[in-house]
């Protein structure tokens, strides 16, 4: 039985808590937040026995084996290093760090202490994406040639309420990287691009600016288009990101929607939803040899990916194997993410080798 503590009780902690419910391998043992009233409220709601007023209290407790770091991005590196020195296994929310130098420090700290470091990336556990990977690896579409992802942000009656003050640290370059849509949120999409089709070699991008809510004074880098070339031959990717404030999206979480098409030499895979949905279509469709096959019975609520991600961490610790994303995998996604932002700034393509550890600028 592993005892885990969530460090940070913001909105995303609601989904992190799900994987520990009725799971015999681990339990949510404690919560830690600078706003102790927030931690108290969630502890009562979830039946969590321990509350911590500081991160130091968490790390000094010998009963704790796992810390899940759900704090602003600028804290990830230092908190990971401190947890590693304390001998705790570490799961840190994406993006893993603000730059590659920090990522390298995190990886080295975990290696030196002999603890597990996992970058929490739920998209690689989302069942429709997992099924897409299975179909690719089974050769159902032949050799994959094109990754095409359209991401749309809008509004929805069932969406999470995110107060504008919660954006403050995300738009601060020193705390959140200053690029909440294309650096923070799209880290998910860059990890998915690598997960499904492999390592990336070169990136080009164009990013405009839009006000997230009219009159808010908070701007994000959309609409945006990112294009990339994979390291293997004849494999390309493109992602379009659009903010449409009046677009209605069916969701219980964030009001955004993704549609993915992967085209191969023989067929096409369509993943028709993720966080939300627009059309009443199956979660996944396969077109091959003139026939479309619908996969209707795949779990497709966003919650599922969080449950599976948490439980894979516990099972991996039991088996002594590395869960996704490893520190190295998380670093590769971070390199891709930073390259896209840099490409937009310089208005020209960026080869990933142009971003050696510690020399790139934060977005």
Give me the CATH number covering residue 37. 3.40.50.720
- The verdict on 26 and 103 lying in the same domain is yes
| Cβ neighbours, 10 Å, residue 254 | 19
Domain containing 168 — which CATH number? 3.30.360.10
- The verdict on 109 and 258 lying in the same domain is no
- The verdict on 290 and 244 lying in the same domain is yes
Which of 63-67, 210-214, 220-224, 240-244 has maximum average pLDDT?
Answer: 63-67
- The verdict on 112 and 127 lying in the same domain is no
d(CA 79, CA 91): 11
d(CA 137, CA 197): 10
Q: What is the pLDDT of residues 112-138, one digit of tens each?
A: 999 999 999 999 999 999 999 999 999
* Domain-terminating residue out of 305, 322, 353: 305
Instruction: Please give the tally of structural domains in the chain.
Output: 2
- The verdict on 109 and 156 lying in the same domain is no
d(CA 62, CA 58): 9
User: What integer pLDDT is reported at residue 219 of this predicted model?
Assistant: 79
d(CA 214, CA 101): 36
Q: Are strands 89-93 and 117-120 parallel, antiparallel or unpaired?
A: parallel
Pick from 126-130, 168-172, 224-228, 313-317: least confident: 168-172
Q: Are strands 276-277 and 291-295 parallel, antiparallel or unpaired?
A: unpaired
User: What integer pLDDT is reported at residue 165 of this predicted model?
Assistant: 63
Of the CA atoms within 13 Å of residue 320, those in its CB half-sphere come to 1
- The verdict on 98 and 183 lying in the same domain is no
Whether 41 is covered by a domain: the verdict is yes
Q: Check pLDDT > 50 for residue 260.
A: yes
- The verdict on 261 and 153 lying in the same domain is yes
- The verdict on 45 and 141 lying in the same domain is no
Domain boundaries, position 84: 2-120
* Domain-terminating residue out of 305, 328, 352: 305
Higher-pLDDT residue of 275, 62: 62
Q: What is the pLDDT of residues 80-123, one digit of tens each?
A: 999 999 999 999 999 999 999 999 999 999 999 999 999 999 99
- The verdict on 135 and 216 lying in the same domain is yes
User: What integer pLDDT is reported at residue 356 of this predicted model?
Assistant: 47
Q: In three state form, how does the secondary structure of the chain look?
A: CEEEEEECCCCCHHHHHHHHCCCCCEEEEEEECCCHHHHHHHHHHHCCCEEECCHHHHHHCCCCCEEEECCCHHHHHHHHHHHHHCCCEEEEECCCCCCHHHHHHHHHHHHHHCCCEEEECHHHHCHHHHHHHHHHHCCCCCCEEEEEEEEEEEECCCCCCCCHHHHCCCCCHHHHCCCHHHHHHHHHHHHHHHHHHCCEEEEEEEECCEECCCCCCCEECCCEEEEEEECCCCCEEEEEEEEEEEEECEECCCCEEEEEEEEECCEEEEECCCCEECCCCCCEEEEECCEEEEECCCCCCHHHHHHHHHHHHHHHHHHCCCCCCCHHHHHHHHHHHHHHHHHHHHCCCEEHHHCCCCCCCCC
Whether 109 is covered by a domain: the verdict is yes
- The verdict on 174 and 262 lying in the same domain is yes
Whether 350 is covered by a domain: the verdict is no
Where does the pLDDT of residue 251 fall: very low under 50, low under 70, confident under 90, or very high at 90 and above?
Answer: confident
Q: What is the pLDDT of residues 16-25, one digit of tens each?
A: 999 999 999 8
- The verdict on 196 and 223 lying in the same domain is yes
Q: What separation in angstroms does the CA of 84 have from each of 80, 102, 105, 119, 182?
A: 6, 14, 11, 14, 29
CA 276 to chain centre: 16
* Domain-terminating residue out of 61, 89, 120: 120
Where does the pLDDT of residue 163 fall: very low under 50, low under 70, confident under 90, or very high at 90 and above?
Answer: low
Say which residues have a Cβ less than 8 Å from residue 353's Cβ, sequence separation at least 6. none
Overall pTM > 0.95: no
- The verdict on 112 and 145 lying in the same domain is no
């Amino acid at each position: 039985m592993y005892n885990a503590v969530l460090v940070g009780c913001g909105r995303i902690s609601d989904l992190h808590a799900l994987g520990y419910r009725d799971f015999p391998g681990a339990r949510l043992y404690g919560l830690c937040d600078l706003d102790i009233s927030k931690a108290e409220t969630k502890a009562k709601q979830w039946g969590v026995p321990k509350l911590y007023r500081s991160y130091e209290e968490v790390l000094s407790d010998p009963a704790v084996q796992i810390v899940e770091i759900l704090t602003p991005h600028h804290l990830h590196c230092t908190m990971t290093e401190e947890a590693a020195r304390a001998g705790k296994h570490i799961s840190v929310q994406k993006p893993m760090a603000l730059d590659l130098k920090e990522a390298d420090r995190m990886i080295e700290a975990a290696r030196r202490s002999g603890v597990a470091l996992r970058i929490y990336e739920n998209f690689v556990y989302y069942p429709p994406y997992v099924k897409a990977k299975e179909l690719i690896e089974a050769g159902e579409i032949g050799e994959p040639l094109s990754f095409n992802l359209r991401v749309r942000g809008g509004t929805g009656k069932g969406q999470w309420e995110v107060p504008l003050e919660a954006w403050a640290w995300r738009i601060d370059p020193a705390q959140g990287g200053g690029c909440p849509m294309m650096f923070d949120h799209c880290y998910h999409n860059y990890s998915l691009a690598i997960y499904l089709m492999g390592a990336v070699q070169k990136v080009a991008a164009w990013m405009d600016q839009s006000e997230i809510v009219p009159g808010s004074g908070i701007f994000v880098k959309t609409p945006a288009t990112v294009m990339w070339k994979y390291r293997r031959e004849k494999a390309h990717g493109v992602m379009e990101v659009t903010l449409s404030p009046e677009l209605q999206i069916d969701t219980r979480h964030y009001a955004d929607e993704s549609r993915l098409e992967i085209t191969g030499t023989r067929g096409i895979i369509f993943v028709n939803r993720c966080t939300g949905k627009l059309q009443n279509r199956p979660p996944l469709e396969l077109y091959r040899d003139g026939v479309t096959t619908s996969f209707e019975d795949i779990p497709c609520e966003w919650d599922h990916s969080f449950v599976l991600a948490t439980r894979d961490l516990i099972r991996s610790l039991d088996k002594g194997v590395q869960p996704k994303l490893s520190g190295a995998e998380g670093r590769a996604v971070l390199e891709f993410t930073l390259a896209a932002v840099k490409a937009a700034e310089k208005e020209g393509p960026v080869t990933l080798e142009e971003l050696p550890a510690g020399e790139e600028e934060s977005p």
